[in-house]
Amino acid sequence: MSDVNVQHIRDTRALSALTHPLRRQLMDVMKLNGPATASALSQATGQAVGNVSHHLRVLADAALIEEVPELARDRRERWWRLVSGGVRWTHTDFEHDPAEAAVADAAARLLIDRHMDFVRGWLTDRKSEEPDWRDGCAVSTETWLHLTPDEARQLAKELTALLDRWASRPIPDDGQQRRPVFAFAHAVPATP
């Protein structure tokens, strides 16, 4: 994701709001489908409208989403959209305070668990998919690299740029079936 449209999270309130499973799901639905009402998000997530409305307010209070009044047909209808095309945060922004560092560590673990839940879900459900979606659409790759910190940052930029290029490309109107595909990458210092 280009840094121009990325919100850099620097406070634990936003980080906590971001890592709640339903709130993250609501943000994902808006990222895929654009602005939405609590009612539409309720249908998309299978949650009660009141519960969705509560979580939308938490996301708004954390400045992760905002109201879009120009889309409302009347005063009762409330539309919401993401504040930015993506969010990013680093542990170093939270290291100055042990409590904030603990929140950042917990958030990192929760987000990795979320990523792995998508992979586990695919592995569980793939046999029920159409053959075209079962054959070669999922990827798992790994490698060991020898990098300096600057090289690791460059790798991160290149991986992010690749995913951003695919995420921001115009979707062709060619009659082909396109489904949401979750793509993620992690590169971390480690020892075999």
pLDDT attached to residue 1 = 47
Q: Is residue 43 scored above 70 in pLDDT? A: yes
Question: Token pair 């115009």 is at which residue?
Answer: 170
pLDDT confidence tier of residue 141, bands split at 50, 70 and 90: confident
Task: Compute and round to an integer the Cα radius of gyration of the chain.
Answer: 19
- Contact between 87 and 24 (Cβ < 8 Å): no
How far apart are alpha carbons 102 and 72 in whole angstroms? 40
Q: Does the structure show a pLDDT above 80 at 137?
A: no
Q: Per-residue pLDDT averaged across 15-19, rounded?
A: 91
* Per-residue model confidence (pLDDT) at position 135: 73
* pLDDT at position 4: 60
Residue whose entry in the numeric block shows the structure tokens 């709001």: 17
Tokens of 17: 């709001």
The alpha carbon dihedral of 61, 186, 22, 100 has a sign of negative
Q: How does pLDDT run across 74-97, given as a tens digit for each residue?
A: 988 999 999 998 898 888 999 999
pLDDT of 3 reads 56
For 142-163, write each residue's pLDDT tens digit. Answer: 899 999 999 999 999 999 899 9
Which uninterrupted H or E stretch holds 37?
strand 36-37
